[in-house]
Structure 1
Amino acid sequence: MAERELRTVLTGGGFFEGPRWRDGTWWVSDFYRHTVSRVTPDGRETVLFEVENQPSGLGWLADGSLVVVSMKDHRLLRFADGELSTYADLGEHCGGHLNDLVVDAQGRVFVGDFGFDLMGGGDAHAATLKRVDPDGSVTVVADGLQFPNGAVITPDGGTLVVGETLGNRYTAFDLGPDGSLSNRHEWAILGPEVTGRTTEEVLGQVVVAPDGCALDAEGHIWSADAVGGRVARIAPGGSIVESVAAPDGMGVFACMLGGEDGRTLLMCCAPDFYEHNRAPVREAVLVSTEVGVAHAGRP
């Protein structure tokens, strides 16, 4: 792994997720403090609001309002004018916690879910990717995904790539002007086909677990590897061309490119992802490092 200088940005988190760069600051969710915050590059945190049922993915609608996943009750929330409201209820389409999202240029939200009870050790099941249109309507646009998680949209708006955390792969779709997904194909193969059923079997077969991610200007994806304690820069096809290790004793569960020149890589780190371990303590950290290629596309 590359030896890069890591700078601590913020300590004292429960479990940071969904990092984004906007308006000169980082934006981040914290599962177990139930908070959504802005964090300046020098580490000053401002808590914006709380999400009782656990916040995750963040994005912005066409009108500039913020949307955030409320995981445990399967809702998308909208934050505008200092108030939270329900933007869409996706419970009908979720087999597990609602999770990460990406928003296209037209304000359509693409969001996945766990597919099963991960924290409770339930048997693994495939999940769907949902699209939430600006009128709040929900459409399932892809199924059979193995824990759809972090996703990116290319700068031309024509391709959506989603990580399958328990599938050893990234899967891509052509993204149509109407928000439809077509031409499903493998963008990166990171390990063998996963065939297990129990959580333990599946996790034992995962080689690289793509989690929160960011696209760069050379068309590579920086991906948090949820089982590898690193972020990996993945080329189309699946070659890992760079990787950066987490601080000792930590895993990495999301990352994002940002900063004024788009070359700061923010990493969301914690010792593990299990709720019973993370919720009672405040051991999660945000760290950053500098990389050579700037951010591109969405988020």
Structure 2
Amino acid sequence: MTEILLEGLVIGESARWHDGRLWCSNWGAQEVLAVDASGKREVMARVSTTLPFSIDWLPSGQLLVVSGPEGLLLRQEGSGELAEYADLSSYGGLNEIVVDGRGNIYVNGGCDFQPAEGERPGFVLLVTPDGSVRRVADELAFPNGMVITPDNRTLIVAESFAFQLTAYDIADDGTLANRRVWAPHTGDGMCMDADGAIWTPGWTPDGRSACLRMAEGGEILDTIPLEHAGFACTVGDGTLYMLTADWHMEEPFDANLDRLLSSATGRILTAPAPAPKAGRP
């Protein structure tokens, strides 16, 4: 059974468990939030962009923010301000981020809500600790949430428009190889648990919004129905956190921002998690 932890977000995304709290991006409000177990929210950063923007942390503990439309990777300084960490704008718009245990940063992008038939413009970039940037994956159909397994050997990315989770082996130098289908289901912001299962927003066979827990190969282990569209989820302290909002991609975000701000349908829902979180983010 789900419970409402917090209401009044615009669109919550990029759910992360960090330092004993749930962190997320609040699209439309230009905020990075941290939320405790009582539902108390704190603004941790302000991001001057629209959507998407997503978050993770360097091994040093510094917050990284992907400013998607601008193609920038930002780092939070000691003052709390965001400064440019890497200019990735030459690759196009960006979406999601995950940092592995060695400090390698993976950022995906190339998302196009209306790609030409047969086109898969999505990609994954690798930013190494020395600051070098490489394009390590191509031809993805709207790359979305990503997870890295606890051994830092596998990266899994949700290809939302291909309706599948796609896995890659991670080489010692951070590059990706051996592309394969991890599960034949769509996904968004997602996380892995200690049983090796992935939680991700998706849909039931009859087309209803749900948060799904799936095993490699595609077996659905758990299904949590959602009233509105799900955008991201994560696990922390025995709890599954799910971010939902009454917004769909066919509704232009910028043209409807006033409505989204005034209605603020974004919620954080909770439910018991059967296994603790594992891997990254």
TM-score by length of 2: 0.90
1:84 corresponding residue in structure 2:
82
2:97 to 90, 98, 101: 101
Alignment correspondent of 2:194: 217
From 229, 243, 265, the equivalent of 2:240 is: 265
SS of structure 2 residue aligned to 1:92: helix
Asked if residue 280 in structure 1 is aligned to residue 261 in structure 2, the reply is yes
Shift of 1:136: 3.0
The total of aligned residue pairs comes to: 267
1:206 match: none
Residues in 2 aligned to 1:71 and 1:228: alpha-carbon distance in whole angstroms: 28
Partner of 2:67: 70
Matches within 5 A, 1:226-241: 228-241=208-221
Distance 1:244 1:297 in 2: 22
Alignment of 1:1-16 (within 5 A): 5-16=1-12
SS in 1 for 2:90: helix
Q: Does 1:252 align with 2:233?
A: no
Aligned partner of 1:171 in structure 2 is 166
Quick one: distance in 2 between partners of 1:13 and 1:130? 30
- Residue 211 of structure 1 aligns to a residue whose secondary structure is coil
Report if aligned partners of 1:60, 1:107 keep a CA contact under 8 Å in 2: no
Q: Is the 8 A contact 1:112 1:147 kept in 2?
A: no
User: Equivalents in 2 of 1:75, 1:43: separation in Å?
Assistant: 31
Contact 2:95–2:111 (Cα < 8 Å) also in 1: no
Asked if structure 2 preserves the Cα contact closer than 8 Å seen for 1:88 and 1:137, the reply is no
User: TM-score scaled by structure 1?
Assistant: 0.85
Identical-residue share of aligned pairs (%)? 36
In the alignment, the residues of structure 2 paired with residue 218 and residue 253 of structure 1 have an alpha-carbon distance, to the nearest angstrom, of 22
Give a deviation string over 1:139-160, Cα, whole Å, max 9, x none: 1100011111111111111111
5+ long unaligned stretches in structure 2: none
Q: Give the C-alpha shift of residue 122 in structure 1.
A: 5.5
Q: Deviations over 1:7-47 (max 9, x none)?
A: 21111111000011111111110110010011111111111
RMSD: 1.7
Q: Report runs of 4+ in structure 1 exceeding 4 Å deviation.
A: none
**Structure 1: 5+ residue runs without aligned partners?**
191-208
